[in-house]
Amino acid sequence: MPFWAAALKGIAGLAAAKASAPKPIDESRIAGYQQPTQNLINQQLKTANEMQDPHSDINLGMRRLMAQRSYESGAQASSQAGKLAAQEGISQGQAAMQQQMGMHQATSGVNQQWLQNLMQQRGAGAQMMQNMTQMQQGMGDKMSNVYMANRNMMNKNPMAGGGAGMLMGANLLSGLMGQYGGGTSWGGGED
């Protein structure tokens, strides 16, 4: 058989083997399917970090809200004290003192309440981060499994991978050249 015919036959056999070989799983496609979940994990991790940061918008906003509510409560208590003082005939000085005490009582606990809230936020943020870390690990495990499945498939069937098939084709051509290149002409006839 002439060299070119043997080479063509070998290449055709390789092409058929390559076409029938199992196809590797497209890792980028799996990553694409996981991207919405990855986006949620990233968002939750950002929120978990903000919950643990006393200077984050979440925690400073909570402090402003607590302060506002305590001032509203203090103003209401002060107003009630003023009305009561007017009804009871208490002097303006005593009424002012009661109003001031009512305001102080309502607003003095804000920092303590905020610190307690920060501790709760910190714990909740740490728990959320732990949950997201587990989810991230699960997604990483899935990608590792896909990678290992592809490697195992290519080890069992070298024709499954693009590079392995090319290597086998080069080896076949090299072998044919060694077999036919020594004592025969490239046209396939005897010298």
Give ∠ CA 52-53-58 in degrees, rounded to 5: 90
Rg (CA), the chain: 39
| Cα 44 from Cα 48, distance rounded (Å) | 6
Instruction: Note whether 70 and 109 are within 8 A (CB).
Output: yes
Task: Give exposure, 27-47, as e/b (b: 16+ Cβ within 10 Å).
Answer: eeebeeebeeeeeebeebbeb
Phi/psi of residue 190, each to 5°? -75, 150
* H or E stretch covering 80: helix 57-88
Closest Cα to residue 124, out of 41, 46, 44, 52?
52
What's the rounded mean pLDDT across residues 49-71?
89
CA 146 to chain centre: 18
Instruction: Note whether 77 and 104 are within 8 A (CB).
Output: no
Residue 182: per-residue pLDDT? 52
Residue 55: per-residue pLDDT? 93
Q: What secondary structure letter does DSSP report for 151?
A: H
| Cα 37 from Cα 40, distance rounded (Å) | 5
Considering only the C-alpha atoms of the chain, give the largest distance between any 2 of them, rounded to a whole number of Å.
135
In this structure, the chain runs to a length of: 191
More confident residue, 35 or 4: 35
Does residue 160 register a pLDDT over 70? no
What are the pLDDT digits (tens) for 163-182?
Answer: 545 555 565 556 555 555 55
pTM above 0.95, yes or no: no
What are the pLDDT digits (tens) for 55-65?
Answer: 999 999 988 88
Residue 183: per-residue pLDDT? 46
pLDDT band at 127 (very low <50, low <70, confident <90, very high): very high
